[in-house]
Amino acid sequence: MKTIYLILTPFLLLAEVDLGEINVNVNASEEEEMDFLVQKESFLPNAPMQQQLTTKQALGMAGTNGDPVKAIKTLAGIVSTTSNDEGSDIYIHGSKPRETEFSINHLPLGYVFHVGGIHSVIAPEATAQIDAYLGGFDTTYGSMGAVVDITPNYPKGSNEGRIHLGLYDADFAYDVKLGENTSLFLSGRRSYFDLFAAKIMDNLDEDENDKNKKTTFTLFPQYYDANLILSHNMGDHTFSLEAITAQDQMKLNTNINETKDPVANGKINSKYGFTTLGARWNYMGENFESMTLLSQMKSKEDTELFDDDFFIKTSTTSHKLYHETVFDVEGHKPLIGMEIEKIDAPVKAHVANGIVGDEDFEPLLSDQEVVNFNKTIKASQYAVFAQDIWSISDNDHLRYGLRAWKTDFQKFGSGIDPRVAYVHDFSDGWSSSLAVGRYSQLPSITYALDGFGNPLLEATEYSNHYAFNVTKKFDAKSSLVVEPYFKTFDNLAIEDNTKNYEGVGKGEAYGVDVTYRKKLDKFDMIVAYTFVKAKRQLNTNNTKQYRFQGDIPHTLQVNASYKFNNNWRISSLLKYNSGSPYTPIVGTEDANSNGKDYKRPIYGEAYSKRMPSSYDLDIQIGKTFHYANSSLEVVFEIMNINDLFKPNIEEYRYNDDYERDGEYKSDGFLPAFHLTYRF
């Protein structure tokens, strides 16, 4: 079951309707620009749980495979469910993946990473910086857990570009001047691993005891994406048209669960993607700044599953209007804004109920009721927010505000989320801060649909954040940040034996993030440690809270890089993390589906066992050759080098009688090679 469900995860997430200038000829001044962080008007320096990375910083980290967005996995507070981060889910301070919002300065994304997690859908040159708000964030965001907001890199009209050839894909990017005040950025990427993968890989999975049972590709994973930004400046006004599109496709055939789960056998064909269009107006005046964004996102999924001809077909259209205005008055920065979203989502499905949703256990599909669903989901969501950053003194700053929201989807109603943060700066490089707030989000919409969940579900999930920060800046190039936190979760939609789901669940998470940064002339180092304890209620028949996949107690990462005088550079990432919890199988019982006998596992106490700890080592080596008006960068990267000597164990394998007979190891070391020509 392990392989099938890991592969299905990114595809089936789309079945849920979500109501919720890099100048390439590098010289000294341009490197400074690439390494410059922008702080938005709602940003409160030294407030808790704020992590920022420039594109230059991110690309210099090992393990990113030339993708700055992937660098978020190296930050303190962000943990992965597997040792090999490729394609694994990320959990932030005990929040599940769906509780983290990803956007491009509030421009929505259908999904962030392509299948397998090798690349994000965003071009490096389209990324100016990455802001990760892990808790206690401001009122402009509506997520319950965390926010990753990417600042777009607007074109400068440099007439410069890049062509990149990698081991798995190729891409290009170009910044062109169309007029005195008008510039266009365009990029595109296409994978080509599918063109030669069949020659080096026969099976995705195989039963060692019965070679006839296996999972094979009939179409190897392929993906593409394209980014476009058209920008026009008129004095203090900037107008931009922004577009991003992505598509992923893969086909499999499996019979590896022929005995264990008779229904879960046959084809697994999936094609999914999205297109987001946005029109943005930015105004930067003397006393106030404004931003208005009108966007449309269309996402589609077409999935066919198994010999029983299950299918999921969705086509979701979301229209969104976002606006914020920030005033600059003496000692204050008041902000007001609003957000309106309308969703239209035709959904057709013929599936076993256990396929769709965010289950804590992998159900046997042979045990599940088959659900037929054909309905168009329509919903509207409204939010208004207001806050102020009050500079009480040179050393004391207070951010306080409210976010009020309302939805007409079923009976989820409305609510108000107050939020406050306070920062005190000491004179000797010390600062301390705290943030407290309430953060609301609708549950997984699948849980509220007739047939899959409870159509009478009406409780909005919410979390209370309590975050603290102590920062010591030793000098301009080194610092230590310690951030303890505590989060509670309420009204979680959890399983109910009679109503499928009820919004009465509770949970909590607490821990501490520690980040030490040291920057010398040619040497950079970041040491990030994360401690987290997370637990949630799983079923209404028991108020006990259990740890779950996001409870990875210890994660330690050491990221270091060094630049040599002859344009060589080397970077490495060493990572340790505790094993993820799992539920042991303690026995079996006989079962039958359509005349086929199989064993049904009997589980012990939920998540009472933990997989072994894991270690990972990534190394990146690069050399840049400079020419008159161009450059060529050659980068060789090896991820998960440790797998050559001692592969990490990701999950235990069971035979048809659910007796443990082996282990699923991590996918092995992943090499990458990049040729990047800049002109």
Distance CA 84, CA 650 (A): 9
Residues in the chain, overall count:
679
From residue 216, how far is each of 206, 207, 256, 313, 587 by CA, in Å? Answer: 9, 12, 10, 23, 30
Largest CA distance in the chain: 77
State the Cα angle at 124 between 123 and 128, rounded to 5°.
115
Distance CA 467, CA 318 (A): 33
| pLDDT on residue 196 | 72
Which uninterrupted H or E stretch holds 28?
Answer: helix 28-34
Cα-Cα-Cα-Cα torsion 111, 113, 115, 118, nearest 10 degrees, comes to 170
Let me know: does 318 contact 302? Beta carbons within 8 Å: no
98: which DSSP letter?
Answer: G
> What's the rounded mean pLDDT across residues 595-616?
91
Structure confidence by residue, pLDDT tens digits, 23-48: 333 333 334 445 677 777 788 989 99
Give the distance from CA 19 to its chain's centroid.
Answer: 17
Neighbours of 150 (CB within 10 A): 25
Q: Report phi then psi at 139, rounded to 5.
A: -80, -5
> What's the rounded mean pLDDT across residues 248-272?
90
| pLDDT on residue 182 | 97
7: which DSSP letter?
Answer: H
Distance CA 8, CA 215 (A): 13
Let me know: does 101 contact 142? Beta carbons within 8 Å: yes
Q: Report phi then psi at 22, rounded to 5.
A: -85, 110
Q: Which of 57-71, 154-168, 207-221, 341-355 has the lowest mean pLDDT?
A: 207-221
Instruction: List the chain domain ranges.
Output: 2-678
Which uninterrupted H or E stretch holds 57?
Answer: helix 55-59
> Nearest to residue 557, comparing CAs of 584, 527, 515?
527
Q: Which residues contact 616 (CB under 8 A, 6 or more apart)?
A: 83, 84, 85, 573, 574, 575, 576, 639, 640, 642, 648
From residue 517, how far is each of 57, 130, 161 by CA, in Å? Answer: 12, 17, 32
> What's the rounded mean pLDDT across residues 427-439?
94
- 2-678 under CATH 2.40.170.20, yes or no: yes
| pLDDT on residue 30 | 38
pLDDT score of 194 more than 80: no
pLDDT level of residue 202 (50, 70, 90 thresholds): low
pLDDT score of 310 more than 80: yes
Give the distance from CA 452 to its chain's centroid.
Answer: 25
Distance CA 203, CA 254 (A): 10
> What's the rounded mean pLDDT across residues 470-495?
94
Q: Which residues contact 563 (CB under 8 A, 6 or more apart)?
A: 522, 523, 569
Let me know: does 626 contact 567? Beta carbons within 8 Å: yes
| pLDDT on residue 497 | 87
Three-state DSSP class for residue 124: helix
| pLDDT on residue 7 | 38
Let me know: does 19 contact 407? Beta carbons within 8 Å: yes
139: which DSSP letter?
Answer: T
> What's the rounded mean pLDDT across residues 173-183?
96
Structure confidence by residue, pLDDT tens digits, 547-562: 998 899 999 999 999 9
Q: Which of 6-15, 95-104, 325-334 has the lowest mean pLDDT?
A: 6-15
14: which DSSP letter?
Answer: G
pLDDT score of 191 more than 70: yes
Cβ burial, residue 402 (10 Å; 0-12/13-18/19+): middle
204: which DSSP letter?
Answer: S
Cα atoms in the 13 Å half-sphere on the side-chain side of 132: 23
Range list of H helices, 190-313: 193-196
Let me know: does 369 contact 450? Beta carbons within 8 Å: no
| pLDDT on residue 214 | 80
Alpha carbon distance, N-terminus to C-terminus of the chain: 48
> What's the rounded mean pLDDT across residues 211-220?
80
Q: Which residues of 278-309 are buried (b: 16+ CB within 10 A; e: fewer)?
A: bebebbeeeebbbbebebebbbbbbbbbbebe
Give the distance from CA 440 to its chain's centroid.
Answer: 19
Extended beta strands in 117-168, E state? 127-133, 146-152, 160-166
Let me know: does 112 contact 90? Beta carbons within 8 Å: no
Q: Which residue has the tokens 């007439």?
A: 159
| pLDDT on residue 199 | 63
Distance CA 555, CA 530 (A): 5
Three-state DSSP class for residue 135: coil
Neighbours of 628 (CB within 10 A): 6
Strand partners, 461: 441
The reported pTM is: 0.90
From residue 617, how far is each of 341, 445, 465, 555, 559 by CA, in Å? Answer: 43, 39, 33, 14, 10
Distance CA 619, CA 61 (A): 9
Three-state DSSP class for residue 398: strand
Let me know: does 533 contact 551? Beta carbons within 8 Å: yes
Which residue type does 637 have? Answer: E
Q: Which residue has the tokens 């084809």?
A: 267
